[in-house]
A = this chain, B = another copy of it.
Amino acid sequence: MTSATSKAVFPLHDDFVPRVARWFHALSDETRLRIVDRLSDGEKCVCDLTDLLDAAQSRLSFHLKTLKDAGILKDRRDGRWVYYYLNPAVVEDLTQFVCSLTACCQKLNKEVSSCCE
């Protein structure tokens, strides 16, 4: 038994659907995926990301806010700089959702196996 199957995800609870939709929407944009990609090896400030992604500051600020509002990212201020980083709790919630869906697929295929194995 893995954590991914420890809660009943499907069928979805009505209250859960909007939250999940926001996670997926936050990750549905290429710029935001590239932000997440850059943060996958550690936190970055906005000016780091403008350099790494060659994108305007206001544009990144918009996307960072979108990711933060969805819970995917968190931020912390250090002097002039604001550092953004992945929010492990929400990333794990998202992972559990997707792993549960995989488990459903496997069950439908009459395979007896658990997530990520």
Chain A residues with CB under 8 Å of chain B are: 2-4, 10-12, 17-18, 20-21, 24-25, 27-30, 33-34, 36-38, 40-42, 85-86, 88, 91-92, 94-95, 98-99, 101-102, 104-106, 108-109, 114-117
Contacts and interface: CB of A to CB of B under 8 A. Distances in A.
Given A21-B29, A28-B28, A115-B116, 9 more contacts: A17-B34, A18-B30, A20-B27, A24-B27, A25-B28, A86-B104, A92-B102, A95-B116, A114-B116
Contacts of A12: 33-34, 37
B86 A91 contact: no
Chain A binding surface, main DSSP class: helix
A66 B3 CA distance: 31
